[in-house]
A and B are shown apart, each in its own frame.
Chain A
Amino acid sequence: MTNYVIETKSLTKTYEGIVPVYAVRGADVTIEDNEFTAIIGPSGSGKTTLLNMIGGLDRPTSGSVKVNGHELTGKTDSELIDFRLKHIGFVFQSYNLIPVLTAKENTEFIMLLQKIPKAQRDARVEQLLGEVGLADKMDKRPTELSGGQQQRVAVARALASKPDFVLADEPTANLDSASASNLLDIMARLNKEEGITFIFSTHDQRVIDRARRVITLEDGVVVRDERR
């Protein structure tokens, strides 16, 4: 039996309203260690909703989500916060960083919440920012960084806690193509060299081309799942 990093069963999210929106309908998705997977689909197909449920940010209407064997659906809000801190790295579309903290401090923040000792933090921040190519920008605040640089800091921050996997919802949506491809290079290298599992959603064909597995959603249903 395979040990899945992520395993969803009949995962469903329905937004109640005058007309209920079936954002995700019975998704069965399994992700293994060391994957580099893109979730694609037209706008409104449920990519964000699915990622949020996998990441313990949103609760499914029904079905289950397991992360490394831990069932998320039964956890309280504050247990989920703790779980996210320990197991999941996040990169959002934009405005990921705390504006009053430097690149170094933003990256360090997660480790601080995990109460990792200072010496260890410093070493790891240096290593991570080096890996994303920002060793010389450690003391810059987000406003002093380009969009691409900010996203790279966000990747460094996501990795700081040594998560089980990194979720990135349209990480390149606000980047020009050079920055986007640079970010993808970094993510791909981290995946290959350090075995970090990435799951990201995207619209961008060039990003899709870099994925090793592509899951396609339409109207909240997984319609295709190709590995290459």
Chain B
Amino acid sequence: MLLRLAYRNIWRNKRRTAITLMSVFFAVILSTLMMSMKEGMYARMMDSMIGAYSGFVQVQSAEYLPDRSLDDALMMSDGIDSSIMSTRHVTGWVPRIESFALAASDETTKGAMVVGIDPVAEKDHTDMAARVSDGAYLEPDDKAVLLGSGLAKKLGLAVGDTIVLIGMGYQGSTATGKYPVKGLVKFGSPELSKQLVILPLKEAQWFFGAEGMCTNIVVLMDNSDRSTKIVSDLSGSLPTGLVAHDWEVLMPDLKHMIETDRKEGYVFMFILYMVISFGIFGTMLMMLAERMHEFGVLVAVGMKRWRLAAVFWLEVVMLALLGSILGMIGALPVVSWFYYFPITFGEGEEFTKMFEEYGMEPVMQSTVDIGVFATQALVVAAITSVIALYPMMRLLRMKAIVAMRS
């Protein structure tokens, strides 16, 4: 009966209810879309930087961070393989040796990240081979490179051309080499695309003068949500001197950026909902004032004030939840649209530059994530419950005859 009473009261003033519903409706759509776009962007960023290259967990020598110096590389051993492979949720691992070097063509010289990979292991566990957009993938014994397509463009190199690498090897030795470009690789992340020079592991170790060594080992897993667990498991089983890090440690900037941006999103969402709550608050005060007499009669004939307050609370929360459920239903097609048809900014556009400055692909794609939707409903429910406290307090203290005079 109380529920029925609350429900009918909502529809008493249809116009006002409609206006309140609409405001919640649009706020929820707007805020859902914004959060979905943001989360979509983070997912893409994580995917293009972490998923495509660095991995969610890496094993390194304990000294490697923060300098990332070749001198702190680790020596490969059987113990590493057994400790990694005996960890739950791990599906494999790939060794890498990385260091900065200068890359030169006939025309120009650019800074580059030279990385040695195990072509067979990468083919098994990562999509490196699939990223080759031009030319061919590496064989283990090749003395040739794959170039990030962005770097190739900057250097003016194509498949078949020759690249010269000059850098610093292990313990201060000089590293120089001259290699044919065997293929070009495409990365979503412009940062990777403009920097990577990929050699077969053996050749890279030779180039850096670091036989049998790696700077890091990328640990692959069945589900990236397990990375924290894997890191903690590994820390118990790895040979001494080695540590495991998850992506948040490996890429603090990315983590920081996502967190900051997410906070900005929350602030915006908060402001948006504050505005909406004032609207709901106004509606609520009107509902209260209009019905004071009626409430007075109810208490006069014996209705407990807390029950009355409960009915009123139900009304407000039902109204707000109805609005937010409608909003979520309305947001679904909008958010899905931007999932299936992401916005891609073209070459040279203002937005493209902005995105690339942050090392991101110039693509905006939303996620369709239950969590984002549910957050809206929770936020709306929480806000309205809180703002409904004020009229509830008034109802709890009201005097029947005073109320009936209004």
- Identify the A interface with B (CB < 8 A): 52, 55, 57-58, 77-78, 81-82, 84-86, 89-90, 92, 95-101, 105, 108-110, 112-113, 157-158, 161
Contacts and interface: CB of A to CB of B under 8 A. Distances in A.
Contact of A84 (B8, B302, B307, B399): B302
A78 B305 contact: yes
A11 B92 CA distance: 91
Interface stretch (B77-85, B168-176, B290-298, B325-333): B290-298
Contacts of A77: 399
B5 A95 contact: no
Interface string B6-38: 001100100000000000000000000000000
B303 A95 contact: no
Given A58-B401, A99-B12, A157 B301 contact: yes
Contact of A92 (B297, B303, B399): B297
A95 B297 contact: yes
Contacts of A105: 1
Interface of B: 1, 5, 8-9, 12, 293-294, 297-305, 307, 399-401, 404
Contact of A113 (B12, B293, B303): B303
A110 B298 CA distance: 9
B302 A101 contact: no
B301 A112 contact: no
A57 B401 contact: yes
The 7 closest A-B pairs by CB, nearest first: A85-B302, A100-B8, A84-B302, A57-B401, A112-B1, A90-B301, A57-B400
B202 to A, nearest CB: 82
Given A95-B294, A100-B8, A100-B9, A109 B299 contact: no
A100 B12 contact: yes
B304 A78 contact: yes
A52 B296 CA distance: 13
A142 B401 CA distance: 22
Given A57-B400, A57-B401, A100-B12, A110 B5 contact: no
Contacts of A98: 5, 294, 297-298
B357 to A, nearest CB: 59
Given A95-B294, A98-B294, A86 B302 contact: yes
Contact of B8 (A86, A96, A101, A113): A101
Given A98-B294, A100-B9, A110 B301 contact: yes
A101 B297 contact: no
Contacts of A112: 1
A84 B294 contact: no
Given A95-B293, A101-B8, A52 B401 contact: yes
Nearest to A58: B401
B170 to A, nearest CB: 83
Nearest to B306: A78
Given A81-B305, A89-B301, A90-B301, 12 more contacts: A58-B401, A78-B305, A82-B304, A85-B303, A86-B302, A92-B300, A98-B298, A100-B12, A108-B1, A109-B301, A109-B303, A158-B301
Contacts of A57: 300, 400-401
Given A52-B401, A92-B404, A85 B8 contact: no
Given A95-B293, A95-B294, A96-B297, A109 B8 contact: no
11 contacts: A57-B300, A57-B400, A82-B302, A90-B301, A98-B298, A100-B5, A100-B9, A100-B12, A109-B1, A109-B301, A109-B303
A55 B404 CA distance: 14
Contacts of B298: 98
Contacts of A81: 299, 302-305
A113 B302 contact: yes
Contacts of A158: 301
A110 B302 contact: yes
A206 B298 CA distance: 30
A101 B5 contact: yes
Most chain A CB neighbours (cut-off 10 Å) among B293, B294, B302, B307: B302
Contacts of A109: 1, 301, 303
A92 B1 CA distance: 23
B6 to A, nearest CB: 9
Contacts of B294: 95, 98-99
A5 B404 CA distance: 26
A84 B300 CA distance: 7
Nearest to A83: B302
Nearest to B404: A92
Contacts of B305: 78, 81
Contacts of A55: 300
A98 B12 CA distance: 12
A225 B304 CA distance: 36
A100 B10 CA distance: 10
Nearest to A98: B294
A161 to B, nearest CB: 7
A65 B322 CA distance: 48
Given A78-B305, A81-B305, A90 B12 contact: no
Contacts of A100: 5, 8-9, 12
A161 B12 CA distance: 28
Given A58-B401, A99-B294, A84 B301 contact: yes
A61 to B, nearest CB: 15
A85 B300 CA distance: 8
B288 to A, nearest CB: 15
